[in-house]
Amino acid sequence: MKIRTGFVSNSSSTNFTCCISGKYYEGRDGEYKNVCNRSYDCGHESESIYYVDLNSANLSTEDKRAILLWWFEYEDWDSEKGEEYKHAKHANQDTIEKEFTKYTTTINTELSSKEEPLYDMPACLCPLCTFTHIPHENAYKYVIKKHFGGIEKTLTDEIKNKFSSINQLRDFIDDK
């Protein structure tokens, strides 16, 4: 058996890469500096600034059921929420539509909040799976292909000829 001496911490380091921006974040115990993360049951993770607005999303009844079930689990449990959870699990389409309408504003407010991490969200709320947001890398590749015929080497050579360092390129991109 290994005996640990000195300072021993029960905290663990964690990290995630945003499925939209591609930014990598490191943190402790799920807490990240200057960013709040979201995780989805599809396996993706994102920064909280990328979310699906329920008012403009094209959601099926089963998507709405999944969102309601997640919401009732996410919220603090009390006897009323427990009953609503059980009811939503087996409810018919009309009931799901009514319940979803009842909670849409509340859930949207939570989704748009940049303050609170949210976990185990259904895939129908994932900004990548729903094609609500396009990953930055894919957008850049699209522009290169559309406007430069997909010739990355030519574009890379042009950039190298115009700038002498990555810092000069970044300054140009950031309009400095």
pLDDT, averaged per 10 consecutive residues of the chain (176 residues), comes to 48 79 79 78 93 94 94 70 73 92 92 85 95 91 78 78 88 81
Per-residue confidence (pLDDT) for residue 4, from 0 to 100: 44
Per-residue confidence (pLDDT) for residue 12, from 0 to 100: 63
Q: Name the pTM for this structure.
A: 0.72
What is the rounded distance in angstroms from the CA atom of residue 176 to the CA atom of residue 166?
Answer: 13
Per-residue confidence (pLDDT) for residue 60, from 0 to 100: 96
